[in-house]
């Protein structure tokens, strides 16, 4: 490897009208003077090296380790595509799932089981979504990685490019085909995260019901009842027309008139069980209810029917009828009583009392005690459904993403500088003439002085101690995730406070009661009251947080990538290290991850997947069909967005943890004193001008960056990479410059 470089590069592209390259003290270095030197291009050199280094006959010469990573990402995306297509075809063609109007029913029955199935399906969806997001981010970073030729072109125009990090800047300087693939992968992520979680949803069914308060002898043979003048159907439905045709109506009337006919449909419940079962927002297991009191009909009050309870359709607190006229010993929440407290009291053996006062149907009844209940059982009909139209949209985006990734593997044949080691290796083998003489340059220097073609010269090293990780990322990379993450946390906290405040007016809202309601569980007082024109608007609102979360993940991942790149860069000043490159030569090591090691990447992916799932349980599409008391028709249909306060409470600390973790990582010090180059290609290039004696043998050896020599004719020292012994840390107050002056 000692004779790998026999000729210096030809820099004809650097002619900038006499104002190019580095202009140091007394004229500095003009890169154009070396443009007559014969050279082989870097790309052809890399290709020859790869031919010699790859031992596998099947592996093409352009194939590098990042291709393996993209191939793995493409494979995972194809697997997700196969899963999506396979499950969609199976569900859409299986007659068991009853496709109607583009909606298929995966399960119909128990509401608790429907919620459980929905929860696990959303866990699967968010796991697959995380795979797609991470694979897209990895592939986009590889696509945006520049070739050496593209960097040389940019540097000749006094522009720099990003190396080793996700970059939008690079899209304006890389090959158009790679830019197109990058955009295709990015655009298809938006509809995926807007729609994927709504591809499967739970449709709840609930029953309206009628409640009648009767005496304890109402169901006894021979008991006197006169319901003809008192029966009142609270829902305004003329059931008389159906009395002789609808079995449920016949059964209800027979029960109302004190007949025991058909009582097998009704079950006797203890007051505690009755209170528990009916203390719910959407009742699906039971419907019409008779409350049996300890009161007995007599000659004065000769009717067994004492009163009825009117339920208001769409009531915010459907179970508040249990608190009729202020039950004894139960506190109030706002204008309503605490039904949870009532249930707890009755369960502990305290009496369930109602003060009918003078509102009874017959006369003033006063305080009565509920001694039992007779409740009508019903079969639950909750459903887990999927939308064929949404799945087709998801599959189309998935297909485009998979094709773009496969094309990235097949079409991206030019060697690119994907990792920091790739850039160091390239600049050491073929030094960049535009950055000679500014070995002390960091990213800020490049942006403020080199980028504006200002005159520079030898400078003192004025840095005391190692800098911190936050210096390796630009202000924009810090502000974007920190600002939007903070805004998201503040808005989420505010919405949580509003949600709890709204619930507090109807129910108890301590942490125990919130936990009892469960993640993603719908309640009548946790519904968004925004009027929606159609279901699509509700779907988009429910999934908008998913898209925002994906954006935050990408910016957060980009920030961590920059900090970890800076950490890796600082290690070169701490000790001798082997270059980590995507196309290793002897003495170098390969890599299958980009800039974020698995010890960071896996927790970040896990955090992202968990937050996506918690978000899907925090705000979700809410659909409920409410049937009339006899199951003849759907009287109300709720189609809006629901929220779960307990899920938000769990998601909020994770968001705060992510924010605090990033800030804490930013305050970590680098391993040693070194220039804060960040991802700036020009600053990295400026640090890679090895001394003349080290040029021929540095590649393939462990290297260290630091103070290496006195520059001839300038009387100043030089900072660079070297494989020789004696490299030391930069000295405070020492003057540093480039390796040599321009030759006359």
State whether the Cα torsion 243-244-246-249 is positive or negative.
positive
Please tell me the distance from the alpha carbon of residue 107 to that of residue 202, in angstroms, as a whole number: 9
Distances (CA, A) of 658 to 93, 98, 442, 668: 43, 43, 28, 16
C-beta atoms surrounding 260 within 10 Å: 12
**pLDDT > 90: percent of the chain:** 23
Cα distances from 546 to residues 549, 652, 709, in angstroms, run 5, 14, 55
Whether 35 shows a pLDDT value over 60: the answer reads: no
**Would the pLDDT of 741 be above 70?**
no
0.85 exceeded by pTM: no
Ramachandran angles phi, psi of 687, nearest 5°: -85, 0
Range scoring the smallest mean pLDDT among 44-48, 333-337, 438-442 = 44-48
Confidence band of 448 (pLDDT split at 50, 70, 90): confident
Helix (H) / strand (E) containing 642: strand 634-643
Q: Per-residue pLDDT for 91 more than 50?
A: yes
The reported pLDDT for the residue numbered 45 is 44
More confident residue, 698 or 347: 347
Q: Please determine, for residue 387, whether its predicted confidence score (pLDDT) is greater than 60.
A: yes
The predicted-structure confidence for 141-198, as pLDDT tens digits, reads as follows 999 999 999 999 999 998 999 998 888 999 999 999 999 999 999 999 888 888 888 8
> Stretch 43-60: mean pLDDT, rounded?
43
- 713 or 41, greater pLDDT: 713
Q: Is the pLDDT of residue 684 over 90?
A: yes
Residue 255's φ and ψ, nearest 5 degrees, are: -70, -40
Going by pLDDT thresholds of 50, 70 and 90, the confidence category of residue 339 is confident
| Region of residue 649 (phi > 0: left; psi between -120 and 50: alpha; otherwise: beta) | alpha
CB 523 within 8 A of CB 281: yes
Element of type H or E holding 347: helix 339-347
Q: Which of 262-271, 421-430, 731-740 has the lowest mean pLDDT?
A: 731-740
119-128, 306-315, 418-427, 696-705: least confidently modelled range: 306-315
On whether the CB atoms of residues 735 and 460 are closer than 8 A, the answer is yes
- Per residue in 703-713, is it b (16+ CB within 10 Å) or e — as a string? bbbbbbbebee
HSE, side-chain direction, 13 A CA sphere, residue 83? 14
Q: Could you tell me the two tokens for 314? A: 């769409």
For residue 223, pLDDT over 70 is answered with no
Q: Is 382 helix (H, G, I), strand (E, B) or coil?
A: strand
CA–CA gap between residue 527 and residue 642 (Å, rounded): 4
Let me know: does 137 contact 550? Beta carbons within 8 Å: no
Is the per-residue pLDDT at 88 higher than 90? yes
Alpha-carbon distance of 656 to 248, in angstroms, equals 54
pLDDT digits (tens, 9 = 90+) for 539-573: 888 888 988 998 999 899 899 999 999 999 999 98
Q: Residue range 510-524: average pLDDT?
A: 74
- The strand pairing partners of 626, in sequence order, are 206, 636
The predicted pLDDT at position 10 comes to: 34
- CB proximity list for 548: less than 8 A, separation 6 or greater: 484, 488
pLDDT at residue number 228? 45
In whole angstroms, give the CA distance from residue 244 to residue 182. Answer: 68
More confident residue, 477 or 520: 477
Helices (H), 8-64: 42-53
Over residues 622-626, the mean pLDDT reads 87
Q: Stretch 254-277: mean pLDDT, rounded?
A: 81
Half-sphere exposure of 735 (CA within 13 A, CB side): 9
């Amino acid at each position: 490897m000692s004779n790998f470089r026999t000729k210096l590069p030809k820099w004809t592209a650097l002619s900038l009208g006499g104002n190019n390259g580095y202009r140091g003290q007394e004229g500095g270095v003009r890169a154009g003077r070396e443009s007559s030197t014969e050279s082989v291009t870097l790309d052809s050199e890399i290709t020859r090296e790869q031919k010699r280094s790859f031992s596998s006959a099947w592996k093409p010469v352009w194939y590098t380790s990042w291709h393996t990573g993209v191939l793995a990402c493409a494979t995972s995306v194809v697997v997700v595509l196969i899963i999506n297509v396979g499950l969609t075809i199976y569900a859409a063609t299986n007659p068991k799932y009853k496709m109607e109007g583009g909606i298929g029913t995966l399960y119909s029955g128990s509401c608790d089981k429907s919620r459980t199935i929905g929860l696990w399906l959303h866990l699967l969806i968010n796991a697959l979504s995380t795979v797609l997001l991470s694979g897209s981010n990895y592939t986009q970073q590889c696509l945006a990685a520049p070739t050496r030729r593209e960097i040389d072109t940019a540097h000749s125009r006094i522009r720099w490019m990003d190396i080793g990090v996700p970059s939008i800047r690079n899209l304006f300087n890389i090959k158009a085909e790679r830019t197109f693939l990058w955009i295709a992968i990015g655009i298809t992520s938006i509809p995926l995260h807007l729609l994927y979680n709504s591809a499967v949803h739970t449709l709840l069914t609930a029953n309206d019901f009628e409640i009648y308060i009767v005496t304890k002898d109402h169901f006894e043979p021979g008991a006197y009842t006169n319901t003809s003048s008192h029966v009142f159907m609270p829902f305004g439905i003329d059931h008389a027309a159906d009395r002789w045709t609808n079995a449920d109506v016949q059964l209800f009337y027979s029960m109302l008139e004190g007949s025991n006919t058909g009582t097998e449909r009704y079950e006797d419940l203890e007051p505690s069980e009755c209170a528990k079962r009916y203390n719910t927002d959407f009742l699906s297991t039971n419907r019409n209810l008779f409350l049996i009191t300890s009161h007995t009909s007599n000659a004065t009050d000769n009717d067994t029917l004492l009163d009825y309870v009117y339920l208001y359709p769409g009531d915010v607190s459907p179970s508040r009828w249990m608190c009729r006229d202020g039950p004894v010993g139960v506190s109030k929440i706002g204008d309503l009583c605490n039904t949870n407290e009532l249930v707890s009291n009755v369960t502990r053996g305290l009496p369930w009392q109602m003060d009918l006062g003078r509102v009874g149907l017959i006369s003033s009844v006063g305080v009565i005690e509920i001694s039992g209940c007779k409740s009508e059982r019903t079969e639950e009909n909750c459903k887990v459904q999927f939308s064929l139209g949404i799945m087709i949209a998801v599959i189309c985006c998935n297909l485009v993403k998979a094709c773009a990734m496969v094309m990235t593997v097949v079409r991206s044949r030019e060697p690119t500088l994907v990792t920091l080691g790739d850039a160091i290796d390239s600049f050491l083998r073929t030094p960049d003439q535009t950055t000679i003489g500014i070995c002390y340059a960091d990213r800020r220097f490049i942006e403020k002085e080199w980028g504006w073609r200002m005159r520079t010269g030898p400078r003192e090293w004025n840095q005391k101690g190692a800098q911190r990780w936050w210096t390796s990322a630009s202000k924009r990379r810090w502000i974007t995730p920190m600002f939007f993450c903070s805004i998201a946390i503040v808005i989420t906290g505010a919405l949580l406070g509003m949600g709890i405040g709204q619930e507090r007016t109807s129910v108890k809202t301590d942490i125990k009661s919130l936990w009892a309601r469960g993640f993603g569980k719908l309640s009548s007082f946790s519904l968004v009251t925004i009027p929606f024109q159609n279901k699509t608007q509700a779907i988009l609102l429910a999934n908008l947080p998913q898209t925002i979360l994906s954006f935050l993940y990408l910016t957060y991942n980009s920030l961590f990538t920059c900090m970890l790149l800076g950490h890796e860069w600082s290690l070169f000043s701490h000790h001798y290290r082997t270059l980590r490159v995507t196309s290793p030569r002897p003495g170098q090591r390969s890599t299958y991850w980009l800039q974020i090691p698995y010890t960071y990447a896996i927790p970040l992916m896990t955090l992202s997947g968990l937050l996506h799932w918690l978000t899907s349980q925090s705000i979700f599409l809410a659909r409920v069909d409410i049937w009339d008391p006899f199951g003849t028709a759907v009287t109300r249909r709720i189609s809006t967005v629901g929220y779960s306060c307990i899920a938000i409470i769990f998601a909020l600390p994770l968001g705060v943890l992510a924010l605090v973790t990033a800030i804490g990582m930013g305050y970590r010090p680098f391993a040693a004193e070194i220039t804060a180059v960040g991802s700036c290609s020009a600053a990295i290039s400026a640090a890679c001008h090895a001394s003349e004696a080290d040029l021929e043998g540095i590649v393939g050896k462990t290297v260290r960056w630091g103070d290496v020599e006195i520059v001839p004719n300038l009387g100043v020292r030089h900072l660079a990479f070297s494989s020789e012994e004696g490299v030391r840390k930069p000295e405070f107050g020492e003057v540093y410059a480039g390796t040599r002056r321009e030759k006359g």
